[in-house]
Amino acid sequence: MENRNPLLRGNIQPMQNHDFMYQVIWHGRGGQGVVVASQILAESAYLQGFKGVTSAPTFGPERRGAPVTASTKISTAPIRTFAQIDHADCAVVLDPTLIKSVDIWVTLKEGGMVIMNAPVAEDYETAANPGLKVAVIDAAGIALKHHLMREGAPIVNTPLLGAFARATGLVTMEYLEMGLKWKLSGTVAETNIAALRAAYAETRLLF
């Protein structure tokens, strides 16, 4: 069974005052499920026992294919500040082509983590953020294998939730599956859970 205490997982550290907040920014395109992924992660963290969780989109062009971001905050204490995230602990990138048009790295803290939907482990630029941790997952391939499609395009948000669990150890698979069942139902939920598990197993950690 997975350790349910994220502060004992070895890769997440509490703040000096013993309160702990982990901030995630999601980068994708309209129609890829960026906001839904942020909501599921927040709900899963709440079910796991975190006292403070928030999920929020960043408002802007919402047309299909346009760059979209959302944020998730997860805290051991109630969250009393609801400002947008300036520098996240983790960036989850649903569309790797965004690297060419969006400065992903500037949204991260020094030494933060980026989780990338990518079929192969490329030499991603980290010079702007020394010590950056990178995890990659062929989320599109997993989505296609499990028939997670919308209008002919793979839906990669669920596989990237599995990659998040593997890379950070913050929210366990048990609670992510519960979060998926909170948002989805029936065979749709089961299909997404299968994709979640496959992504967890196949995530490659480049650190």
Helix 34-48 vs helix 173-183: crossing angle, to nearest 10:
120
Model pLDDT, residue 6: 42
d(CA 98, CA 61): 15
In this structure, are residues 22 and 76 in contact, taking their beta carbons and an 8 Å threshold? no
Model pLDDT, residue 170: 96
d(CA 70, CA 82): 13
Model pLDDT, residue 204: 93
Model pLDDT, residue 59: 58
Low-confidence residues in the chain, pLDDT < 50: 1-17, 127
Instruction: Kindly report the pTM of this predicted structure.
Output: 0.87
Query: What domains can you pick out in the chain, each with its CATH number?
Result: 17-205 (3.40.920.10)
Model pLDDT, residue 35: 93
